[in-house]
Chain A
Amino acid sequence: MTGIRRHAAAVAFFGLLIAFAVAGPWIFELFALLQLSTFSALALATLGLAFVWGSMGILSFGHAAFFGLGAYAYAITVLNLADSTLALPLAILTPALFSLLLGYFLFFGRVGDVYLAVITLCVTLILFSFMNSTSDPSYRIGSAMLGGFNGINGVPPLNWPGEPDAFLSPEAMFRFCFVILALVYGLLYLLRLSAPGRIMVAVRENELRSQLLGYDTRLYKMAGFTVSAAIAGLAGALFTANAGFVGPTVFGLNQASQFLLWVVAGGLGTLAGPLVASFVFQYLANHLGTSQLINTSLVFGAIIIFLVLLMPRGILPAAQAAWVAAMVGRDACRSTSLTPPRHW
């Protein structure tokens, strides 16, 4: 895959997302439209994780923490102000600030990769148990009750900036979500091509060497971590705006692990793969959940195990390898290493 073709794939994917955003409301029924909007919010969070993990090698289980913080920040702000104009920026800012604080401890403490994964996971779980215990009416921020295990119900959707009474229609909401998704994809892709993005990849490949070349790797890690947290926060806000509800499960272990699963399934080191994978898996999960034939955890657990055993590099890279093999007619690279391909 040479340079031009490499970017062609990304541009085509970006165009596809935009086209989908425009044409979606004419294709889908209302129910599918609403569902896809919700899916897209989670896909957006996955994109942030795909970036921070794939490009920087930071395995963050705390992604759900940032996602949940964004979701709660949005819900609390909207309920207090009855206007979502300020709520979106706040939902981005809250997790970003939190990630700066956490990142300071983790990156400046030089916590190792594995430890970082576990600590971020613990942060998520602590937030989960904290939110679970806020059912007492005394836990309130302004006029918004946190609601403990029941979460916050009746969160209003997005409204046009500055017009608190003009809510976005489901169609507009759908378009907004997918345009945001496309933009974030495009921006992250461009970031990876830029000089700072190159340094981020260098940090992943060899942190010591990057340091010896004079880069303060801690700052780059912090930056990447915060960018992904901000994206996750925005995703959380969109998720809540779509669902009209936020509960402690946004911090749950399942939520935290789902993002990771989607990134691995789509292909670590790519951006488009995880994005597509998150839609596929969410559709599957919903399908399984509504059929009630068999326990969802059981099926999902089995799927994950098989996926990791059979396609350790992810679906997109595996498909690519198969495609290349079919085109070239020889056995494509079959390494099980996690060195990501350099495209998409």
Chain B
Amino acid sequence: MDQLVVLLIAVATSVALLALVSLGLAIIFGMMRVINFAHGEFIMLGGYATVLSANHGVNIWAAIFVVAPATVAAVGLVAERLIVRRFYGQTVMTLLATWGLSLFLIGAVTALFGNTTHGVAAPLGSVALGAYSVSAYQLVLIAVVAVLIVASLVALNRTSWGLVARGTMQNPEMASTLGIDPKRVYAVTFTAGAALAGLAGGLLAPISGVIPHMGASYVARAFVTVISGGTAMVTGMISAAALFGPIEALLSFATTPVIGQAGLLVAAVILLRLMPEGISGRFSGRRT
């Protein structure tokens, strides 16, 4: 029984982590069709912002929920203004430019903070579960991700800003005839996605520590999850995370984490063979 609960928590954590690292990408790629190769580095920067500020005496929760998203949102805004906005509609060029950005960020962080792992202790200690103990931070993480997902769904579907954003993505010309400036909407959307990536990095930092090249391990998983999700950004991404998370967790549990990752990818390739439009493409219609 206890063991089952522990396994369930492991699976839930796996799903939550997938959803967490994919959320910012779902906004940026799902809405704008911008392949942001620096997504992993945005997560990395969020992690660094949290670790550095927490080690300089900032309250850990403030470091995670304020410093990390704010820092990365600023980076995202600058990147959008200087680089990304020149390539809207040119997938390949965006991909290369953001890859350059990703290398640049890795190099900059390495030059500033060195090529070693920095960490910060996870708050809250652990919860006893019969013979096992689970880190309480994990449970908080699952809850936070759930709240984040609900919040982004509400923001996209139930606010006028979300309506404007979705409308602009569908038909920029029409939006601009209605007096909306698409450029601004793009900039805000990209910044919001960057902030979410930063928050993901901040939340991950106590678990995994931070190192300049940590982004690479998240970027592939995030892309696979978002793509398999299909047209409905957030809901599709969550369905994909809910499908892949257990696969990865159980395979990792049974064999090694590498086999778990490989299993995730194989599952995604097979899924896309069966549903080229992604999961939500099957029940298509709404783009949220």
Contacts and interface: CB of A to CB of B under 8 A. Distances in A.
Instruction: Please determine whether chains A and B interact with each other in the same assembly.
Output: yes
Interface of A: 59, 102, 105-106, 108-115, 117-119, 121-123, 125-126, 129-130, 132-133, 253-254, 257, 260-261, 264, 268, 294-305, 307-309, 312, 336, 338
B44 interface: no
Most chain-A Cβ atoms within 10 A of its Cβ — which of B100, B217, B258, B273? B100
A43 B93 CA distance: 22
B4 interface: no
A304 B97 contact: yes
Given A109-B276, A111-B272, A304 B92 contact: no
Contact of B93 (A123, A132, A312): A312
A215 B270 CA distance: 26
Contacts of B99: 257, 260-261, 304
Contact of A295 (B102, B110, B223, B274): B110
A254 B33 CA distance: 23
Given A125-B220, A129-B262, A133-B258, 7 more contacts: A118-B227, A121-B223, A122-B220, A298-B104, A299-B107, A300-B103, A308-B87
A45 B74 CA distance: 38
Contacts of B159: none
A241 to B, nearest CB: 28
Nearest to B262: A126
A260 B224 CA distance: 20
Interface in B74-106: 83, 86-87, 90-93, 95-97, 99-106
B256 interface: yes
B104 A105 contact: no
Contacts of A108: 273
A338 B256 CA distance: 43
A253 B97 contact: no
- Across the A-B interface, the 10 shortest Cβ-Cβ residue pairs: A298-B107, A301-B104, A304-B100, A297-B107, A301-B103, A109-B273, A305-B100, A295-B107, A133-B258, A118-B223
Q: Per DSSP, are chain A's interface residues mostly helix, strand or loop, or mixed?
A: helix
Interface in B223-277: 223-224, 227, 256, 258, 261-262, 265, 268-270, 272-274, 276
A112 B100 CA distance: 24
Contacts of A132: 258
A114 B34 CA distance: 10
A301 B100 contact: yes
7 contacts: A126-B220, A126-B261, A301-B100, A304-B96, A304-B100, A304-B103, A338-B92
A123 B261 CA distance: 10
Most chain-A Cβ atoms within 10 A of its Cβ — which of B83, B102, B217, B269? B269
Contacts of A125: 216, 220
A298 B273 contact: no
A133 B108 CA distance: 28
A112 B276 contact: yes
Contacts of B86: 309
B224 A114 contact: no
A298 to B, nearest CB: 3
A123 B265 contact: yes
Nearest to B33: A114
Contacts of A297: 103-104, 106-107, 110
Given A112-B276, A294-B111, A300-B107, A308 B100 contact: yes
A301 B107 contact: yes
A132 B261 CA distance: 13
Nearest to A108: B273
B78 to A, nearest CB: 12
Nearest to B263: A126
A299 B103 CA distance: 9
B279 to A, nearest CB: 13
A105 B269 contact: yes
B35 interface: yes
Contacts of A129: 217, 258, 261-262
B269 A338 contact: no
Contacts of B273: 105, 108-109, 111
Contacts of B95: 59, 117, 260
Given A119-B269, A301-B104, A301-B106, A309 B97 contact: yes
Nearest to B40: A253
A269 to B, nearest CB: 12
A122 B126 CA distance: 35
B22 to A, nearest CB: 12
Given A125-B216, A253-B216, A301 B90 contact: no
A284 to B, nearest CB: 14
Nearest to A305: B100
A118 B265 CA distance: 11
